[in-house]
Amino acid sequence: MRTGLSALLLLGAWATSVAVPASAVGAPASTGTSDAPASDALLDAMRRDFGLTRAQAEERLSAEKRATAVESKARRAAGAAYGGSWFDADSGALTVAVTAAASPGTLDAVRATGATVRTAKYSARHLDAAKARIDKLSAPEGVSSWHVDAKAGSVVVSVVGAQRADNDVRAFLARARAAGPVTVQEAVEAPQTFAAGTVGGDPFYTGNVRCSIGFSVHGGFVTAGHCGRAGAGVSGWDRSYIGNFQGSSFPDNDYAWVNVGSGWWTVPVVLGWGTVSDQLVRGSAEAPVGASICRSGSTTHWHCGTVLAKNETVNYSQGAVHQMTKTSVCAEPGDSGGSFISGDQAQGVTSGGWGNCSSGGQTWHQPVNEILNRYGLRLHTA
């Protein structure tokens, strides 16, 4: 059995995290940040993808951990005046937008958390309500996605440049503007999911589709919903039976979970593919906008980038998917379902995007905490 695990960790092409497999027993997952030092491999990956020195990479990770801890405190302190937040890599600080109606005491309470305060025209609640109204609209193919942008103080709608003059796109934008404050930006390409046909030697497989494991949970693993429907059988890198999709949702959501057995087991690991060492998963504290984030997948292995937006609605050809996180990390077909991780904290499973890892692109992930809550699962942590 130990030989099988080694083969999985070395050959298990697919995705990030987890060696997958079999009965899981362990302590319940923590969503708190960890004090464990960053691995040399993670620092090397950040040096490669961000052009940082080792000291700069260490400082950025430390600053992001502080910002993650500050974000929830600042949100509570701001209350109804909260307008959103983002991490600034240059200053190493978390900025929190607060509406002008906030009292001096509220502003002092937010600053006391360690956050930088900026005045916002609209509250996050106001912008979220506007986005929810846009979510009810039927988007044409030329509309790529939309999300609340705290910096812009509006709902940002991305439109494929070549289709911006399309009548259906223009009509959608008019309806969107009627729903609330909207900013339009150009998308390079339309998003697509990253599932792929069978490629020998890389798990996991469902029929003729290859996808990537996301994160181990007690009793199985989580992945993307477009990789398989509930009840579908799943086989691993060696084509041996793993289990079945126990739950799956796509579109609207893009998440699923698979039970494991038949000699497979779960471990709290994200594969580094030789680019970095395998990464331990210690929790699932959500990184703020602007923080660094890395992805592991069976096709393109390990790549890093930045969190660009949260709660974005992505308009795939199969239908819209909600509550996604957008990143500057590249991905390609077969990476679907794979792990997004920030430091040692699980973030989400790869859904889709545009571009590739030669010329660059953007990728969305479905937040892991949403998946855990939806199915009542516990993340397997170190």
How far is residue 14 from each of residues 135, 196, 259, 319, measured CA to CA in Å?
Answer: 32, 11, 17, 25
Q: What percent of the chain has pLDDT over 70?
A: 88
Q: What is the pLDDT of residue 8?
A: 25
Does residue 29 register a pLDDT over 50?
no
Q: What angle do CA 314, 317, 322 make, to 5 degrees?
A: 25
Among candidate residues 148, 99, 139, 137, the one with its CA nearest the CA of residue 311: 148
Does residue 16 register a pLDDT over 70?
no
Give residue for tokens 């030329």.
142
Contact 312, 63 (CB under 8 A): no
Three-class HEC string of the chain: CHHHHHHHHHHCCCCCCCCCECCCCCCCCCCCCCCCCCCHHHHHHHHHHHCCCHHHHHHHHHHHHHHHHHHHHHHHHHHHHEEEEEEECCCCEEEEEEECCCCHHHHHHHHHCCCEEEEECCCHHHHHHHHHHHHCCCCCCCEEEEEEECCCCEEEEEEEHHHCCCHHHHHHHHHHHHHCCEEEEEECCCCEECCEECCCCCCCEECCEECCCCEEECCEEEECHHHCCCCCEEECCCCCEEEEEEEEECCECCEEEEECCCCCECCCEECCECCECCEECCECCCCCCCCEEEEEECCCEEEEEEEEEEEEEEEECCEEEEEEEEECCCCCCCCCCCEEEECCEEEEEEEEEEEECCCEEEEEEEEHHHHHHHHCCCECCC
Q: What is the pLDDT of residues 276-286, one digit of tens each?
A: 888 899 999 99
How far is residue 12 from each of residues 66, 213, 253, 293, measured CA to CA in Å?
Answer: 34, 9, 26, 22
Residues with Cβ within 8 Å of 70's Cβ and at least 6 positions away in sequence, in order, are 94, 113, 114, 115
Among candidate residues 134, 376, 158, 353, the one with its CA nearest the CA of residue 254: 353
pTM more than 0.85: no
- Top pLDDT among 293 and 28 is at 293
Q: What is the mean pLDDT of the chain?
A: 88
Q: What percent of the chain has pLDDT over 90?
A: 77
Q: What is the pLDDT of residues 155-205, one digit of tens each?
A: 999 999 999 999 999 999 999 999 999 999 999 899 998 766 443 335 699
- What are the tokens at 5? 């695990």
- Asked if omega into 251 is within 30° of 0 (cis), the reply is yes
Q: What is the pLDDT of residue 159?
A: 97
Does residue 33 register a pLDDT over 90?
no
Contact 276, 45 (CB under 8 A): yes
Does residue 207 register a pLDDT over 50?
yes
Among candidate residues 355, 58, 63, the one with its CA nearest the CA of residue 192: 355
Does residue 148 register a pLDDT over 50?
yes
* Mean pLDDT of all residues in 141-168: 95
CB count within 10 Å of CB 368 equals 28
- CA gyration radius for the chain? 20
- Top pLDDT among 31 and 318 is at 318
Residue 258's pLDDT band, with cuts at 50, 70 and 90, is very high
Pairing of strands 154-160, 182-187: parallel
Could you list the active site residues? 226, 254, 336
Q: What is the pLDDT of residues 52-110, one digit of tens each?
A: 999 999 999 999 999 999 999 999 999 999 999 999 999 999 999 999 999 999 999 99
- Top pLDDT among 61 and 27 is at 61
The residues facing 352 across adjacent strands are 193, 364
Residue 273's pLDDT band, with cuts at 50, 70 and 90, is confident
- What are the tokens at 38? 């960053």
Q: What is the pLDDT of residues 297-341, one digit of tens each?
A: 999 999 999 999 999 999 999 999 999 999 999 999 999 999 999
Q: What is the pLDDT of residue 196?
A: 61
- Residue 131 one-letter amino acid: K
Q: What is the pLDDT of residue 40?
A: 82
